[in-house]
Chains A and B, each alone.
Chain A
């Protein structure tokens, strides 16, 4: 007779199998990009849940819009008109300057910088891992987003795309502790690398030469080295500089220009991206960033 009081033990073999499977998945996912299809598949399955979760904040915004008075709309319209006038005035100067820039560049024989095409995307209001700085966009590979493309808001660079599914994309912000962006000082032109440290209002610059001429208030732009980020976009402003007397290095803290925690709408820059280091051997020689022309069309907005 079977003893009904015998505990129904989970046997050890299956659990070891699953643990082994999980550990190898983690290992592969950490070292290579071969698991992207699995990630995309699951991501597509949970897409409806994501939409559902991000619905209440969106609905809140709609209701607010509904109850906006005519007067507040008129005021806002007025303010926007003023702003547009101001920007147009600046643009006039820009046109002259960029023509001059192109002329000088052609005199020097260097390539002319093409204007970047962009895609407008919106943030999905869902939380991810609290120890990483990731955001989710509501557009994906169907809209032309690719891994590695730079994401900006109207103040500066926000981050880069790390995962793409057909209709969503994950962006790693420049403040993620694993992220580093090559930058250049506007004043002086010195180059460095800005590391994220996990808080949305701080970047770190380490191991600057002790003689470097850096002051709080200096502007940092992307240097374009590495081929990930297009050159010349604002990244951060230096907040404080410290000199490590013992090691003989300066380190600096900077505040990102982009509003990493507040922007609702972002722009994805569609310039071709240099392949990731892990992809390079497969593709033979890496193509230069300028030669690839897969830009399709300007988005309608």
Chain B
């Protein structure tokens, strides 16, 4: 992997982490999509041999520390959705963007359910809208994230 490409990947992960902690008003905070999941899904679709499960695990730990949750909460969810993604990436790559967005919605819902399930197990019960809202917004954002990251990837000649 060329160093410029590595830099772009790291930078996109850092930006998604910053979006995760960007201050939002209280009512909007529960609709914040999982940016880290969106960016990881893109990179694992584009470079399935290089962005593996351990990347998802490490990124998940970083998200856990930024969000002040239990260590391993997001790591678990990201590892699971990336595993699914790695298995079907060849079929997803050739889909049109709207179809891809639906697939991403499914992954984000699973991600959300896994994270909030742990949240519920240790005694906090998130409202129902929390399960639906954030993945829906993530789905709407997917085409733009996809186009932006693909543009960047082609600029730095990452295959």
**Of residues 102 to 144 in B, which have CB atoms within 8 Å of A's CB atoms?**
118-119, 122-124, 126, 130
Min distance, Cβ B21 to any Cβ of chain A, angstroms: 4
Known A10-B83, A14-B53; judge A127-B29 contact (CB<8 A): yes
A175 CB to closest chain B CB (Å) equals 12
Bound CA–CA A130/B118 (angstroms) = 14
**A177 vs B73: C-alpha distance when bound (angstroms):** 19
Determine which of B66, B119, B124 lies in contact with A46 in the assembled complex, contact meaning CB atoms within 8 Å: B66
B61, CB-defined interface residue at 8 Å? yes
CB pair B71 A25 closer than 8 Å: yes
**B87 contact set on A, CB distance < 8 A:** 7, 9-10
Q: Could you tell me which residues of chain A, from 151 to 171, have a CB within 8 Å of some CB in chain B?
A: 163, 170
Nearest CB of B to A208, in Å: 23
A226 to B154, CA, bound (A): 60
Q: Which residues of B contact A7 (CB under 8 A)?
A: 87-88, 90-91
| Contact indicator per residue, chain A 19-63, by CB within 8 Å of chain B (1) or not (0) | 101111110011000010011001101100110111001000000
Asked if residues A177 and B75 are in contact (CB atoms below 8 Å), the reply is: no
In the complex, are the beta carbons of B67 and A129 less than 8 A apart?
yes
Q: How far is the CB of B84 from chain A (nearest CB, A)?
A: 8
Quick check: is B30 within 8 A (CB to CB) of the other chain? yes
Residues 159-194 of A, flagged 1 when their CB comes within 8 A of B and 0 if not, give: 000010000001000000110000000000000000
Query: How far, in angstroms, from A23 to B70 measured CA to CA in the complex?
Result: 10
Find A53's partner among B21, B52, B126 (CB 8 Å cutoff): B21
The answer on a CB contact under 8 Å between B22 and A127 is yes
Task: Looking at the assembled complex, report how far the CB atom of B123 sits from the nearest CB atom of chain A, in whole angstroms.
Answer: 7
Say yes or no: A19 contacts B119, CB within 8 Å: no
Most chain A CB within 10 A, of B60, B65, B76, B126, is at B65
Cβ of B3 < 8 Å from any Cβ of A? no
Instruction: Decide if A26 touches B71 in the complex (CB within 8 Å).
Output: yes
- The interface residues of chain B lying within 8 Å CB-to-CB of A170 are 68
Across the interface, do B71 and A15 meet the contact criterion of CB distance under 8 Å? no
| Docked complex Cα distance between A45 and B60 (Å) | 14
Q: Determine if A128 is an interface residue (Cβ-Cβ < 8 Å).
A: yes
A200 to B25, CA, bound (A): 13
Residues of chain B lying within 8 A (CB to CB) of residue A46: 17, 62, 65-66
Name the A residues within 8 Å of B126 (CB-CB): 131
* Contacting residues, chain B, for A129 (C-beta < 8 A): 67-69
Count of chain B residues with a beta carbon within 8 Å of a chain A beta carbon: 49
Contact pattern, B 28-68, Cβ under 8 Å of A = 1, otherwise 0: 01101000000000000000110011101100111001111
What is the CB-to-nearest-CB distance from A118 to chain B, in angstroms, rounded to a whole number?
24
Residue of B nearest to A52 (CB): B18
A258 near B: Cβ within 8 Å? no
Complex Cα spacing A23 to B75, Å: 9
Q: Give chain B residues whose Cβ lies under 8 Å from the Cβ of A35.
A: 71
Given A46-B17, A49-B21, A127-B21, A29-B90 contact (CB < 8 Å) = no
**Contact between B66 and A8, CB atoms less than 8 A apart:** no
Asked whether A134 is an interface residue with its Cβ less than 8 Å from the other chain, the reply is yes
Q: Is the CB of A8 within 8 A of B18?
A: no
Q: Does B6 contact A (CB under 8 A)?
A: no
A126 close to B23 (CB less than 8 A): yes
In the assembled complex, 29 residue pairs joining A and B whose CB atoms fall closer than 8 Å, in A order, are A7-B90, A8-B49, A8-B86, A8-B90, A10-B86, A10-B87, A14-B52, A18-B54, A22-B75, A25-B72, A25-B75, A26-B73, A26-B118, A42-B61, A42-B62, A46-B17, A46-B65, A46-B66, A50-B21, A50-B66, A53-B18, A127-B29, A127-B32, A128-B66, A130-B130, A132-B68, A170-B68, A178-B123, A200-B26
Nearest first, the 3 closest Cβ-Cβ pairs linking A and B are A25-B72, A10-B86, A22-B76
Having A7-B91, A22-B75, one finds 4 other A-B pairs with CB under 8 Å, namely A7-B90, A21-B72, A130-B29, A163-B68
